[in-house]
Chain A
Amino acid sequence: MTRRRPNWIAMAFALAWLVIVLAPVYVLVLAAIQTQPNYNSQGPLSLPKALTGSNFSAVIHAGFLHYFLNTLIVTVAVVAIVLVAVPPLSFSIVRGRSLLSRGAFRLFLLGLAVPAQAVIVPMFYLMTKLTLYDTFAAIILPTAAFVFPVATLIMSGNMRDITSDLYEAMALDGASSWRTFRQLVLPLSRGGLATIVVFAALTAWNGFLFPLVLTQSSSVRVFTLGLFNFETTYGINVPEISAAVILSMVPILLVYLFARRSLVQGLMGVGGR
Protein backbone atom coordinates (compact mmCIF):
# COMPACT_ATOMS: atom_id res chain seq x y z
CA MET A 1 0.00 0.00 0.00
CA THR A 2 2.79 2.42 -0.84
CA ARG A 3 1.80 4.48 -3.84
CA ARG A 4 -1.95 4.91 -3.91
CA ARG A 5 -4.20 7.64 -5.21
CA PRO A 6 -5.60 9.43 -2.20
CA ASN A 7 -9.01 7.97 -1.53
CA TRP A 8 -11.23 11.05 -1.66
CA ILE A 9 -14.49 9.27 -1.02
CA ALA A 10 -13.13 7.63 2.11
CA MET A 11 -11.71 10.94 3.25
CA ALA A 12 -15.12 12.54 2.77
CA PHE A 13 -16.78 9.91 4.96
CA ALA A 14 -14.02 10.22 7.53
CA LEU A 15 -14.53 13.96 7.70
CA ALA A 16 -18.29 13.54 7.94
CA TRP A 17 -17.81 11.23 10.88
CA LEU A 18 -15.41 13.75 12.41
CA VAL A 19 -18.15 16.37 12.29
CA ILE A 20 -20.52 13.99 14.04
CA VAL A 21 -17.96 13.21 16.72
CA LEU A 22 -16.95 16.78 17.33
CA ALA A 23 -20.34 18.50 17.14
CA PRO A 24 -21.26 17.75 20.76
CA VAL A 25 -17.78 18.73 21.90
CA TYR A 26 -18.09 22.00 20.01
CA VAL A 27 -21.45 22.71 21.63
CA LEU A 28 -20.12 21.64 25.02
CA VAL A 29 -17.20 24.03 24.94
CA LEU A 30 -19.20 26.94 23.57
CA ALA A 31 -22.07 26.47 26.00
CA ALA A 32 -19.75 26.32 28.99
CA ILE A 33 -18.46 29.81 28.31
CA GLN A 34 -21.77 31.54 27.76
CA THR A 35 -24.49 32.61 30.11
CA GLN A 36 -27.71 30.65 30.05
CA PRO A 37 -29.94 33.41 28.65
CA ASN A 38 -27.50 33.89 25.77
CA TYR A 39 -27.32 30.20 25.07
CA ASN A 40 -31.07 29.78 25.10
CA SER A 41 -31.69 32.68 22.81
CA GLN A 42 -29.01 31.88 20.26
CA GLY A 43 -29.06 28.15 20.05
CA PRO A 44 -26.27 25.63 20.51
CA LEU A 45 -24.44 26.08 17.26
CA SER A 46 -23.99 29.83 17.17
CA LEU A 47 -20.85 31.52 18.34
CA PRO A 48 -21.32 33.22 21.68
CA LYS A 49 -21.84 36.94 21.83
CA ALA A 50 -20.13 37.28 25.17
CA LEU A 51 -17.86 34.99 27.14
CA THR A 52 -18.07 34.22 30.81
CA GLY A 53 -16.43 32.00 33.39
CA SER A 54 -19.44 32.14 35.69
CA ASN A 55 -20.61 28.65 34.82
CA PHE A 56 -17.43 27.11 36.12
CA SER A 57 -17.58 29.02 39.38
CA ALA A 58 -21.27 28.22 39.78
CA VAL A 59 -20.57 24.55 39.26
CA ILE A 60 -17.75 24.55 41.77
CA HIS A 61 -19.96 26.31 44.28
CA ALA A 62 -22.65 23.73 43.71
CA GLY A 63 -20.32 21.17 45.22
CA PHE A 64 -18.59 19.65 42.21
CA LEU A 65 -15.14 20.07 43.71
CA HIS A 66 -16.35 17.94 46.56
CA TYR A 67 -17.74 15.34 44.14
CA PHE A 68 -14.39 15.41 42.38
CA LEU A 69 -12.65 14.53 45.63
CA ASN A 70 -15.13 11.75 46.37
CA THR A 71 -14.58 10.24 42.96
CA LEU A 72 -10.83 10.42 43.53
CA ILE A 73 -11.17 8.55 46.82
CA VAL A 74 -13.27 5.84 45.20
CA THR A 75 -10.90 5.54 42.25
CA VAL A 76 -7.76 5.24 44.36
CA ALA A 77 -9.38 2.62 46.59
CA VAL A 78 -10.62 0.54 43.65
CA VAL A 79 -7.22 0.64 41.94
CA ALA A 80 -5.54 -0.37 45.22
CA ILE A 81 -7.83 -3.37 45.68
CA VAL A 82 -7.30 -4.50 42.10
CA LEU A 83 -3.51 -4.11 42.32
CA VAL A 84 -3.31 -6.10 45.53
CA ALA A 85 -5.57 -8.95 44.46
CA VAL A 86 -5.21 -9.48 40.72
CA PRO A 87 -1.45 -9.81 39.99
CA PRO A 88 -0.99 -12.57 42.59
CA LEU A 89 -4.08 -14.27 41.19
CA SER A 90 -2.73 -14.12 37.66
CA PHE A 91 0.64 -15.40 38.83
CA SER A 92 -1.12 -18.35 40.37
CA ILE A 93 -3.15 -18.97 37.21
CA VAL A 94 -0.15 -18.82 34.90
CA ARG A 95 2.42 -20.63 37.01
CA GLY A 96 0.42 -22.55 39.56
CA ARG A 97 0.38 -26.33 39.28
CA SER A 98 -2.86 -27.25 40.97
CA LEU A 99 -6.21 -27.90 39.33
CA LEU A 100 -7.62 -25.18 41.57
CA SER A 101 -5.56 -22.57 39.78
CA ARG A 102 -7.11 -23.50 36.49
CA GLY A 103 -10.50 -23.59 38.13
CA ALA A 104 -9.94 -20.05 39.34
CA PHE A 105 -9.28 -18.93 35.78
CA ARG A 106 -12.52 -20.46 34.56
CA LEU A 107 -14.36 -18.81 37.43
CA PHE A 108 -13.19 -15.40 36.36
CA LEU A 109 -13.94 -16.08 32.71
CA LEU A 110 -17.48 -16.86 33.80
CA GLY A 111 -17.44 -13.64 35.76
CA LEU A 112 -17.01 -11.78 32.48
CA ALA A 113 -20.53 -12.76 31.52
CA VAL A 114 -22.20 -11.38 34.65
CA PRO A 115 -23.68 -7.95 33.95
CA ALA A 116 -23.39 -5.49 36.80
CA GLN A 117 -27.04 -4.48 36.25
CA ALA A 118 -28.20 -7.90 37.39
CA VAL A 119 -26.72 -7.52 40.87
CA ILE A 120 -27.86 -4.03 41.81
CA VAL A 121 -30.88 -5.30 43.70
CA PRO A 122 -29.06 -7.92 45.80
CA MET A 123 -26.19 -5.48 46.28
CA PHE A 124 -28.67 -2.96 47.65
CA TYR A 125 -29.99 -5.64 49.98
CA LEU A 126 -26.50 -6.71 51.08
CA MET A 127 -25.26 -3.19 51.66
CA THR A 128 -28.35 -2.36 53.67
CA LYS A 129 -27.87 -5.47 55.79
CA LEU A 130 -24.18 -4.69 56.31
CA THR A 131 -25.16 -1.09 57.20
CA LEU A 132 -22.78 0.02 54.50
CA TYR A 133 -25.49 1.77 52.49
CA ASP A 134 -24.58 5.34 51.62
CA THR A 135 -20.87 4.96 52.34
CA PHE A 136 -17.77 4.93 50.16
CA ALA A 137 -17.39 1.23 50.85
CA ALA A 138 -20.73 0.60 49.18
CA ILE A 139 -19.36 1.97 45.92
CA ILE A 140 -15.79 0.72 46.20
CA LEU A 141 -16.42 -2.94 47.02
CA PRO A 142 -18.70 -3.95 44.12
CA THR A 143 -16.95 -1.72 41.60
CA ALA A 144 -13.60 -3.34 42.33
CA ALA A 145 -15.13 -6.83 42.13
CA PHE A 146 -16.47 -6.27 38.64
CA VAL A 147 -13.08 -5.09 37.43
CA PHE A 148 -11.49 -8.42 38.36
CA PRO A 149 -12.45 -10.58 35.34
CA VAL A 150 -11.05 -8.26 32.68
CA ALA A 151 -8.04 -7.34 34.80
CA THR A 152 -7.29 -11.01 35.36
CA LEU A 153 -7.51 -11.68 31.63
CA ILE A 154 -5.15 -8.82 30.83
CA MET A 155 -2.68 -9.69 33.58
CA SER A 156 -2.62 -13.43 32.84
CA GLY A 157 -2.03 -12.79 29.17
CA ASN A 158 0.77 -10.46 30.07
CA MET A 159 2.42 -12.91 32.47
CA ARG A 160 2.21 -15.75 29.97
CA ASP A 161 4.56 -13.78 27.76
CA ILE A 162 7.32 -14.28 30.30
CA THR A 163 9.15 -17.31 28.94
CA SER A 164 9.53 -20.36 31.13
CA ASP A 165 13.37 -20.30 30.90
CA LEU A 166 13.33 -17.18 33.01
CA TYR A 167 11.12 -18.85 35.59
CA GLU A 168 13.36 -21.87 35.57
CA ALA A 169 16.45 -19.71 36.04
CA MET A 170 14.85 -18.23 39.15
CA ALA A 171 13.94 -21.68 40.39
CA LEU A 172 17.50 -22.96 39.89
CA ASP A 173 18.60 -20.00 41.96
CA GLY A 174 16.46 -21.37 44.75
CA ALA A 175 14.02 -18.50 44.61
CA SER A 176 10.76 -18.77 46.54
CA SER A 177 7.52 -17.96 44.81
CA TRP A 178 7.44 -14.60 46.56
CA ARG A 179 10.95 -13.74 45.35
CA THR A 180 10.14 -14.91 41.85
CA PHE A 181 7.09 -12.69 41.89
CA ARG A 182 8.92 -9.68 43.22
CA GLN A 183 12.10 -9.89 41.18
CA LEU A 184 10.97 -11.45 37.91
CA VAL A 185 7.24 -11.21 37.36
CA LEU A 186 6.46 -7.70 38.58
CA PRO A 187 9.24 -5.89 36.73
CA LEU A 188 8.42 -7.72 33.50
CA SER A 189 4.67 -7.10 33.82
CA ARG A 190 4.87 -3.35 33.97
CA GLY A 191 2.87 -2.93 30.78
CA GLY A 192 0.08 -5.16 32.01
CA LEU A 193 0.08 -3.46 35.39
CA ALA A 194 -0.23 -0.06 33.76
CA THR A 195 -3.12 -1.33 31.67
CA ILE A 196 -5.09 -2.73 34.58
CA VAL A 197 -4.46 0.40 36.62
CA VAL A 198 -5.90 2.53 33.83
CA PHE A 199 -8.80 0.16 33.26
CA ALA A 200 -9.67 0.02 36.96
CA ALA A 201 -9.28 3.78 37.32
CA LEU A 202 -11.51 4.49 34.32
CA THR A 203 -14.18 2.07 35.48
CA ALA A 204 -14.19 3.63 38.93
CA TRP A 205 -14.02 7.23 37.67
CA ASN A 206 -16.92 6.83 35.27
CA GLY A 207 -18.90 4.49 37.49
CA PHE A 208 -22.56 5.43 37.78
CA LEU A 209 -24.73 2.41 38.44
CA PHE A 210 -23.41 1.44 41.88
CA PRO A 211 -23.21 5.00 43.17
CA LEU A 212 -26.72 5.63 41.90
CA VAL A 213 -28.21 2.67 43.68
CA LEU A 214 -26.03 2.41 46.78
CA THR A 215 -25.56 6.01 47.87
CA GLN A 216 -27.81 8.93 48.53
CA SER A 217 -26.30 11.84 50.40
CA SER A 218 -24.11 14.48 48.83
CA SER A 219 -21.22 13.73 51.18
CA VAL A 220 -20.43 10.54 49.27
CA ARG A 221 -21.71 11.63 45.90
CA VAL A 222 -19.39 10.95 43.00
CA PHE A 223 -19.02 13.15 39.98
CA THR A 224 -21.22 11.21 37.54
CA LEU A 225 -23.98 11.14 40.08
CA GLY A 226 -23.45 14.83 40.67
CA LEU A 227 -23.99 15.46 36.97
CA PHE A 228 -27.15 13.39 36.96
CA ASN A 229 -28.45 15.05 40.10
CA PHE A 230 -27.65 18.48 38.73
CA GLU A 231 -29.55 17.82 35.55
CA THR A 232 -32.64 16.54 37.30
CA THR A 233 -32.66 19.27 39.92
CA TYR A 234 -31.93 22.30 37.81
CA GLY A 235 -33.55 21.19 34.60
CA ILE A 236 -31.77 21.99 31.39
CA ASN A 237 -29.21 24.60 32.37
CA VAL A 238 -26.99 23.65 29.50
CA PRO A 239 -24.13 26.10 30.10
CA GLU A 240 -23.67 25.03 33.70
CA ILE A 241 -23.93 21.35 33.05
CA SER A 242 -21.52 21.71 30.14
CA ALA A 243 -19.03 23.30 32.50
CA ALA A 244 -19.49 20.36 34.87
CA VAL A 245 -18.99 17.80 32.10
CA ILE A 246 -15.83 19.52 30.93
CA LEU A 247 -14.48 19.49 34.48
CA SER A 248 -15.16 15.77 34.69
CA MET A 249 -13.14 15.16 31.56
CA VAL A 250 -10.06 17.09 32.62
CA PRO A 251 -8.29 14.27 34.49
CA ILE A 252 -8.92 11.78 31.72
CA LEU A 253 -7.71 14.27 29.13
CA LEU A 254 -4.52 14.70 31.15
CA VAL A 255 -3.99 10.95 31.20
CA TYR A 256 -4.67 10.87 27.46
CA LEU A 257 -1.98 13.45 26.85
CA PHE A 258 0.66 11.88 29.09
CA ALA A 259 -0.03 8.16 29.11
CA ARG A 260 -1.80 7.59 25.83
CA ARG A 261 -0.70 4.04 25.21
CA SER A 262 -1.75 2.81 28.63
CA LEU A 263 -5.03 4.64 28.26
CA VAL A 264 -5.76 3.05 24.91
CA GLN A 265 -4.95 -0.38 26.22
CA GLY A 266 -7.01 0.22 29.32
CA LEU A 267 -9.92 1.31 27.19
CA MET A 268 -9.69 -1.80 25.06
CA GLY A 269 -10.18 -3.59 28.33
CA VAL A 270 -13.39 -1.62 28.70
CA GLY A 271 -14.54 -3.33 25.57
CA GLY A 272 -14.08 -6.57 27.41
CA ARG A 273 -16.44 -5.17 30.01
Chain B
Amino acid sequence: MAVVAHGDRRDPGELSRRVVQRRRRSRVRKAGRPSIVWAVPATVYFTLFALLPLGVVVWLSFTSWSGVGAPASVGLRNWTHLFSDPVMRESIWLMLLLTALGVVTQTPVSLLLGVWAAGKGRSRSVLTALYFIPLLMSSAAVAIVWRALLDPNFGLPHQLPWLFGSGDLFGNPADAIGVLTFVGLWQWTPLYTLIYQGATRAIPVSLYEAASIDGAGPVRQFFTITLPQLRNTMITTMILMVIGGMTTFETILILTQGHPGNSTTTSAYYMYSQAFNSFDFGKASAIAVVLVVVATAIGIAITKWSGYDKMTSTQEGV
Protein backbone atom coordinates (compact mmCIF):
# COMPACT_ATOMS: atom_id res chain seq x y z
CA MET B 1 0.00 0.00 0.00
CA ALA B 2 1.56 3.26 -1.11
CA VAL B 3 1.74 6.00 1.43
CA VAL B 4 2.14 9.36 -0.14
CA ALA B 5 4.70 11.09 2.01
CA HIS B 6 4.23 14.75 2.64
CA GLY B 7 7.33 15.58 0.67
CA ASP B 8 6.07 13.88 -2.48
CA ARG B 9 3.25 16.31 -2.91
CA ARG B 10 5.69 18.83 -4.25
CA ASP B 11 6.76 16.39 -7.01
CA PRO B 12 3.95 15.72 -9.49
CA GLY B 13 5.93 12.95 -11.23
CA GLU B 14 6.47 11.13 -7.93
CA LEU B 15 2.80 11.46 -7.01
CA SER B 16 1.46 10.05 -10.25
CA ARG B 17 3.99 7.21 -10.12
CA ARG B 18 2.78 6.19 -6.68
CA VAL B 19 -0.84 6.37 -7.76
CA VAL B 20 -0.09 4.21 -10.78
CA GLN B 21 1.75 1.74 -8.53
CA ARG B 22 -1.16 1.59 -6.14
CA ARG B 23 -3.63 1.09 -8.97
CA ARG B 24 -1.49 -1.65 -10.49
CA ARG B 25 -1.17 -3.47 -7.17
CA SER B 26 -4.88 -3.40 -6.54
CA ARG B 27 -5.47 -4.52 -10.12
CA VAL B 28 -3.11 -7.39 -9.48
CA ARG B 29 -5.02 -8.25 -6.34
CA LYS B 30 -8.27 -8.16 -8.29
CA ALA B 31 -6.92 -10.03 -11.30
CA GLY B 32 -7.75 -13.67 -11.66
CA ARG B 33 -10.50 -13.40 -9.07
CA PRO B 34 -13.77 -15.04 -9.96
CA SER B 35 -16.68 -12.71 -10.40
CA ILE B 36 -20.07 -13.43 -8.91
CA VAL B 37 -21.00 -15.05 -12.23
CA TRP B 38 -19.15 -18.19 -11.12
CA ALA B 39 -21.57 -18.71 -8.29
CA VAL B 40 -24.72 -18.04 -10.28
CA PRO B 41 -25.51 -21.42 -11.86
CA ALA B 42 -25.24 -23.38 -8.63
CA THR B 43 -27.14 -20.78 -6.60
CA VAL B 44 -29.97 -20.50 -9.10
CA TYR B 45 -30.24 -24.26 -9.42
CA PHE B 46 -30.23 -24.80 -5.69
CA THR B 47 -32.79 -22.08 -5.11
CA LEU B 48 -35.08 -23.61 -7.71
CA PHE B 49 -34.87 -27.18 -6.55
CA ALA B 50 -34.27 -26.98 -2.82
CA LEU B 51 -35.41 -23.58 -1.54
CA LEU B 52 -38.38 -22.84 -3.75
CA PRO B 53 -40.02 -26.11 -2.69
CA LEU B 54 -39.80 -24.90 0.91
CA GLY B 55 -41.88 -21.89 -0.04
CA VAL B 56 -44.28 -24.08 -1.97
CA VAL B 57 -44.79 -26.42 0.96
CA VAL B 58 -45.78 -23.52 3.19
CA TRP B 59 -48.29 -22.41 0.57
CA LEU B 60 -49.61 -25.94 0.11
CA SER B 61 -50.22 -26.24 3.84
CA PHE B 62 -53.00 -23.68 3.43
CA THR B 63 -54.65 -25.63 0.63
CA SER B 64 -56.45 -28.85 0.11
CA TRP B 65 -55.14 -31.07 -2.65
CA SER B 66 -55.65 -34.70 -3.45
CA GLY B 67 -53.03 -34.98 -6.16
CA VAL B 68 -55.27 -34.30 -9.11
CA GLY B 69 -56.61 -31.01 -10.30
CA ALA B 70 -55.51 -27.82 -8.62
CA PRO B 71 -54.99 -27.14 -4.93
CA ALA B 72 -57.92 -25.29 -3.37
CA SER B 73 -57.34 -22.71 -0.68
CA VAL B 74 -58.75 -23.67 2.70
CA GLY B 75 -57.12 -21.16 4.97
CA LEU B 76 -56.11 -22.47 8.38
CA ARG B 77 -58.14 -25.66 8.28
CA ASN B 78 -55.19 -28.03 7.94
CA TRP B 79 -53.44 -26.28 10.79
CA THR B 80 -56.34 -26.38 13.21
CA HIS B 81 -56.84 -30.04 12.43
CA LEU B 82 -53.17 -30.68 13.01
CA PHE B 83 -53.12 -29.00 16.39
CA SER B 84 -55.89 -31.22 17.66
CA ASP B 85 -54.51 -34.36 16.03
CA PRO B 86 -53.30 -36.89 18.63
CA VAL B 87 -51.35 -38.85 16.03
CA MET B 88 -49.38 -35.70 15.24
CA ARG B 89 -48.41 -35.13 18.84
CA GLU B 90 -47.55 -38.79 19.22
CA SER B 91 -45.42 -38.64 16.09
CA ILE B 92 -43.33 -35.76 17.39
CA TRP B 93 -42.82 -37.55 20.69
CA LEU B 94 -41.82 -40.71 18.79
CA MET B 95 -39.39 -38.77 16.64
CA LEU B 96 -37.70 -37.40 19.74
CA LEU B 97 -37.71 -40.79 21.45
CA LEU B 98 -36.16 -42.64 18.53
CA THR B 99 -33.57 -39.90 18.08
CA ALA B 100 -32.64 -40.00 21.77
CA LEU B 101 -32.41 -43.79 21.70
CA GLY B 102 -30.20 -43.52 18.65
CA VAL B 103 -27.79 -41.12 20.30
CA VAL B 104 -27.68 -43.09 23.53
CA THR B 105 -26.90 -46.40 21.81
CA GLN B 106 -24.71 -45.28 18.96
CA THR B 107 -22.44 -42.91 20.87
CA PRO B 108 -20.84 -45.34 23.35
CA VAL B 109 -20.50 -48.12 20.80
CA SER B 110 -18.97 -46.00 18.05
CA LEU B 111 -16.81 -44.08 20.51
CA LEU B 112 -15.31 -47.18 22.09
CA LEU B 113 -14.90 -48.93 18.75
CA GLY B 114 -13.38 -45.84 17.16
CA VAL B 115 -10.85 -45.36 19.92
CA TRP B 116 -9.96 -49.04 19.82
CA ALA B 117 -9.69 -49.04 16.04
CA ALA B 118 -7.35 -46.07 16.14
CA GLY B 119 -4.63 -48.23 17.59
CA LYS B 120 -2.05 -49.94 15.47
CA GLY B 121 -2.11 -53.58 14.57
CA ARG B 122 -3.02 -55.87 11.73
CA SER B 123 -6.09 -57.31 13.40
CA ARG B 124 -7.50 -53.85 14.02
CA SER B 125 -7.17 -52.77 10.41
CA VAL B 126 -8.71 -55.99 9.11
CA LEU B 127 -11.63 -55.68 11.48
CA THR B 128 -12.06 -52.01 10.65
CA ALA B 129 -12.24 -52.80 6.95
CA LEU B 130 -14.97 -55.32 7.70
CA TYR B 131 -16.90 -52.93 9.93
CA PHE B 132 -17.27 -50.78 6.85
CA ILE B 133 -19.72 -53.12 5.12
CA PRO B 134 -23.04 -51.67 6.37
CA LEU B 135 -22.02 -48.34 4.86
CA LEU B 136 -21.87 -49.93 1.43
CA MET B 137 -25.56 -50.79 1.52
CA SER B 138 -28.37 -48.40 0.74
CA SER B 139 -30.83 -47.52 3.48
CA ALA B 140 -33.51 -49.45 1.63
CA ALA B 141 -31.32 -52.53 1.28
CA VAL B 142 -30.44 -52.49 4.97
CA ALA B 143 -34.09 -52.30 5.96
CA ILE B 144 -35.06 -55.06 3.54
CA VAL B 145 -32.33 -57.35 4.81
CA TRP B 146 -33.35 -56.88 8.43
CA ARG B 147 -36.99 -57.27 7.53
CA ALA B 148 -36.12 -60.65 6.11
CA LEU B 149 -33.83 -61.57 8.98
CA LEU B 150 -36.38 -60.71 11.64
CA ASP B 151 -39.32 -62.28 9.91
CA PRO B 152 -41.21 -64.22 12.58
CA ASN B 153 -41.85 -67.21 10.35
CA PHE B 154 -38.66 -67.68 8.38
CA GLY B 155 -36.07 -65.51 10.03
CA LEU B 156 -33.85 -65.58 13.06
CA PRO B 157 -36.69 -65.52 15.62
CA HIS B 158 -37.93 -68.77 14.12
CA GLN B 159 -34.54 -70.41 14.25
CA LEU B 160 -33.39 -69.00 17.57
CA PRO B 161 -36.48 -68.92 19.78
CA TRP B 162 -34.35 -69.02 22.92
CA LEU B 163 -33.04 -65.58 21.98
CA PHE B 164 -36.14 -64.00 20.57
CA GLY B 165 -38.94 -65.29 22.73
CA SER B 166 -42.32 -65.09 21.11
CA GLY B 167 -40.74 -64.11 17.84
CA ASP B 168 -43.11 -61.46 16.62
CA LEU B 169 -40.95 -58.39 16.98
CA PHE B 170 -43.23 -56.32 14.85
CA GLY B 171 -46.35 -57.04 16.83
CA ASN B 172 -45.92 -54.84 19.85
CA PRO B 173 -44.79 -51.23 20.15
CA ALA B 174 -41.83 -51.71 22.49
CA ASP B 175 -40.28 -54.43 20.34
CA ALA B 176 -40.91 -52.49 17.14
CA ILE B 177 -39.15 -49.45 18.57
CA GLY B 178 -36.35 -51.71 19.72
CA VAL B 179 -35.98 -53.13 16.22
CA LEU B 180 -35.81 -49.65 14.70
CA THR B 181 -33.19 -48.59 17.23
CA PHE B 182 -31.12 -51.70 16.61
CA VAL B 183 -31.22 -51.37 12.83
CA GLY B 184 -30.21 -47.72 13.17
CA LEU B 185 -27.33 -48.81 15.39
CA TRP B 186 -26.22 -51.45 12.88
CA GLN B 187 -26.48 -49.08 9.98
CA TRP B 188 -24.87 -45.93 11.33
CA THR B 189 -22.31 -47.03 13.90
CA PRO B 190 -19.72 -47.77 11.19
CA LEU B 191 -19.88 -44.15 10.02
CA TYR B 192 -19.37 -42.71 13.49
CA THR B 193 -16.70 -45.29 14.30
CA LEU B 194 -14.80 -44.04 11.28
CA ILE B 195 -15.11 -40.45 12.45
CA TYR B 196 -13.98 -41.26 15.99
CA GLN B 197 -11.13 -43.36 14.66
CA GLY B 198 -9.85 -40.46 12.59
CA ALA B 199 -10.24 -38.03 15.45
CA THR B 200 -8.48 -40.31 17.92
CA ARG B 201 -5.57 -40.79 15.57
CA ALA B 202 -5.15 -37.01 15.52
CA ILE B 203 -4.61 -36.77 19.27
CA PRO B 204 -0.94 -35.90 19.86
CA VAL B 205 0.96 -38.87 21.24
CA SER B 206 2.93 -36.53 23.49
CA LEU B 207 -0.10 -36.18 25.74
CA TYR B 208 -0.21 -39.91 26.35
CA GLU B 209 3.54 -40.13 26.86
CA ALA B 210 3.41 -37.41 29.47
CA ALA B 211 0.59 -39.22 31.24
CA SER B 212 2.47 -42.53 31.20
CA ILE B 213 5.46 -40.90 32.79
CA ASP B 214 3.15 -39.60 35.46
CA GLY B 215 2.02 -43.15 36.08
CA ALA B 216 -1.45 -43.10 34.57
CA GLY B 217 -2.71 -46.43 33.28
CA PRO B 218 -4.74 -46.94 30.08
CA VAL B 219 -8.12 -46.50 31.73
CA ARG B 220 -7.11 -43.28 33.42
CA GLN B 221 -5.60 -42.05 30.15
CA PHE B 222 -8.85 -42.74 28.38
CA PHE B 223 -10.89 -40.65 30.76
CA THR B 224 -8.46 -37.81 31.24
CA ILE B 225 -6.98 -37.46 27.76
CA THR B 226 -8.93 -39.27 25.06
CA LEU B 227 -12.42 -38.21 26.04
CA PRO B 228 -11.68 -34.51 26.55
CA GLN B 229 -9.72 -34.40 23.29
CA LEU B 230 -12.68 -35.92 21.50
CA ARG B 231 -15.10 -33.35 22.81
CA ASN B 232 -15.53 -31.45 19.55
CA THR B 233 -15.91 -34.68 17.62
CA MET B 234 -18.54 -35.88 20.06
CA ILE B 235 -20.54 -32.72 19.52
CA THR B 236 -20.30 -33.02 15.76
CA THR B 237 -21.34 -36.65 15.70
CA MET B 238 -24.19 -36.01 18.10
CA ILE B 239 -25.52 -33.30 15.82
CA LEU B 240 -25.27 -35.73 12.90
CA MET B 241 -27.07 -38.41 14.92
CA VAL B 242 -29.86 -36.05 15.85
CA ILE B 243 -30.39 -34.84 12.29
CA GLY B 244 -30.24 -38.41 11.04
CA GLY B 245 -32.61 -39.67 13.69
CA MET B 246 -35.19 -37.04 12.94
CA THR B 247 -35.22 -37.74 9.24
CA THR B 248 -35.25 -41.55 9.37
CA PHE B 249 -37.80 -42.67 6.88
CA GLU B 250 -36.93 -45.62 4.65
CA THR B 251 -36.23 -47.81 7.63
CA ILE B 252 -39.69 -47.21 9.06
CA LEU B 253 -41.39 -47.50 5.69
CA ILE B 254 -39.87 -50.90 4.99
CA LEU B 255 -39.70 -52.41 8.47
CA THR B 256 -42.88 -51.36 10.21
CA GLN B 257 -44.92 -49.00 8.02
CA GLY B 258 -45.59 -47.03 11.15
CA HIS B 259 -47.24 -50.03 12.83
CA PRO B 260 -48.29 -51.61 15.11
CA GLY B 261 -51.13 -49.11 14.99
CA ASN B 262 -49.37 -45.76 15.01
CA SER B 263 -46.71 -46.68 17.52
CA THR B 264 -43.83 -46.23 15.12
CA THR B 265 -45.31 -43.40 13.08
CA THR B 266 -42.80 -40.61 13.34
CA SER B 267 -43.57 -37.18 11.92
CA ALA B 268 -41.61 -37.89 8.74
CA TYR B 269 -43.50 -41.10 8.16
CA TYR B 270 -46.83 -39.53 9.10
CA MET B 271 -46.23 -36.85 6.49
CA TYR B 272 -45.51 -39.43 3.81
CA SER B 273 -48.49 -41.53 4.78
CA GLN B 274 -50.90 -38.60 4.78
CA ALA B 275 -49.68 -37.57 1.34
CA PHE B 276 -49.26 -40.85 -0.51
CA ASN B 277 -51.57 -43.20 1.33
CA SER B 278 -54.38 -40.84 2.25
CA PHE B 279 -53.85 -38.33 -0.55
CA ASP B 280 -54.25 -35.37 1.77
CA PHE B 281 -51.39 -33.27 0.48
CA GLY B 282 -52.47 -30.13 2.27
CA LYS B 283 -52.27 -31.76 5.67
CA ALA B 284 -49.02 -33.47 4.72
CA SER B 285 -47.57 -30.09 3.80
CA ALA B 286 -48.48 -28.72 7.20
CA ILE B 287 -46.73 -31.68 8.82
CA ALA B 288 -43.69 -31.00 6.63
CA VAL B 289 -43.54 -27.40 7.82
CA VAL B 290 -43.70 -28.55 11.43
CA LEU B 291 -40.92 -31.04 10.69
CA VAL B 292 -38.63 -28.37 9.27
CA VAL B 293 -39.33 -25.97 12.15
CA VAL B 294 -38.74 -28.63 14.81
CA ALA B 295 -35.58 -29.93 13.12
CA THR B 296 -34.15 -26.43 12.72
CA ALA B 297 -35.04 -25.48 16.28
CA ILE B 298 -33.38 -28.57 17.70
CA GLY B 299 -30.36 -28.04 15.47
CA ILE B 300 -29.95 -24.47 16.69
CA ALA B 301 -30.53 -25.51 20.30
CA ILE B 302 -27.84 -28.17 20.19
CA THR B 303 -25.42 -25.82 18.50
CA LYS B 304 -25.99 -23.12 21.09
CA TRP B 305 -25.98 -25.51 24.08
CA SER B 306 -22.77 -27.17 23.05
CA GLY B 307 -21.02 -23.92 22.23
CA TYR B 308 -20.31 -25.31 18.80
CA ASP B 309 -19.97 -21.92 17.23
CA LYS B 310 -17.45 -20.90 19.78
CA MET B 311 -15.64 -24.21 19.16
CA THR B 312 -12.45 -23.85 21.11
CA SER B 313 -9.54 -25.94 20.01
CA THR B 314 -8.83 -28.99 22.12
CA GLN B 315 -5.16 -28.60 21.41
CA GLU B 316 -4.43 -25.34 23.12
CA GLY B 317 -1.32 -25.46 25.19
CA VAL B 318 -0.09 -28.68 23.64
Contacts and interface: CB of A to CB of B under 8 A. Distances in A.
A51 interface: no
A231 B229 CA distance: 46
Given A117-B247, A117-B291, A125-B56, A17 B109 contact: yes
Contact of A120 (B29, B138, B191, B272): B272
B305 interface: no
B41 A95 contact: no
Contacts of A191: none
Interface string A245-271: 100110011001000000010011011
A204 B185 CA distance: 23
B50 A114 contact: yes
Given A107-B43, A121-B271, A256-B132, A174 B31 contact: yes
A170 B39 contact: no
Given A91-B38, A119-B54, A273 B240 contact: yes
Interface in B119-145: 119-120, 123-124, 127, 130-141, 144-145
Nearest to B188: A271
Contacts of A115: 243, 246-247, 268, 291-292, 295
A120 B284 CA distance: 10
B318 interface: no
Interface string A91-115: 1110111101100100110010111
Contact of B112 (A13, A15, A264, A267): A13
Contact of A148 (B42, B113, B284): B42
A54 interface: no
Contacts of A117: 247, 249, 268, 271-272, 288, 291
Interface in B246-299: 246-247, 249-250, 254, 268, 271-272, 275-276, 281, 284-285, 288-289, 291-292, 295-296, 299
Interface size bracket, A side = 35 or more
A108 B288 contact: no
A21 B190 contact: yes
Interface residues of B, number: 99
Given A115-B246, A122-B57, A100 B39 contact: yes
A116 interface: yes
Interface stretch (B1-9, B10-18, B153-161, B166-174): B153-161
A206 interface: yes
Contacts of B149: 23-24, 27, 44
B79 interface: no
A249 B153 CA distance: 27
Interface string A221-261: 00011011001000010100110010011001100100000
Given A17-B113, A100-B39, A268 B32 contact: no
A101 B56 contact: no
A249 B39 CA distance: 35
B39 A111 contact: no
B138 A248 contact: yes
Interface string B213-229: 00000100000000000
Given A123-B53, A206-B139, A231-B254, A236 B32 contact: no
A101 B39 contact: yes
Contacts of A174: 31
A231 to B, nearest CB: 5
5 contacts: A21-B186, A27-B145, A117-B271, A128-B67, A177-B35
Given A85-B41, A175-B32, A206-B139, 17 more contacts: A1-B120, A14-B127, A15-B127, A17-B189, A28-B145, A44-B149, A91-B38, A100-B36, A111-B50, A113-B243, A114-B51, A121-B271, A124-B281, A125-B281, A128-B67, A241-B144, A273-B240
The 9 closest A-B pairs by CB, nearest first: A206-B138, A43-B159, A145-B49, A122-B56, A92-B38, A89-B42, A122-B53, A85-B42, A92-B39
Interface of A: 1, 4, 7, 10-11, 13-15, 17-18, 20-25, 27-28, 31, 39-40, 43-46, 81, 84-86, 88-89, 91-93, 95-98, 100-101, 104, 107-108, 111, 113-126, 128, 141-142, 144-146, 148, 152, 167-168, 170-172, 174-177, 179-181, 205-206, 208-209, 213, 224-225, 227-228, 231, 236, 238, 241-242, 245, 248-249, 252-253, 256, 264, 267-268, 270-273
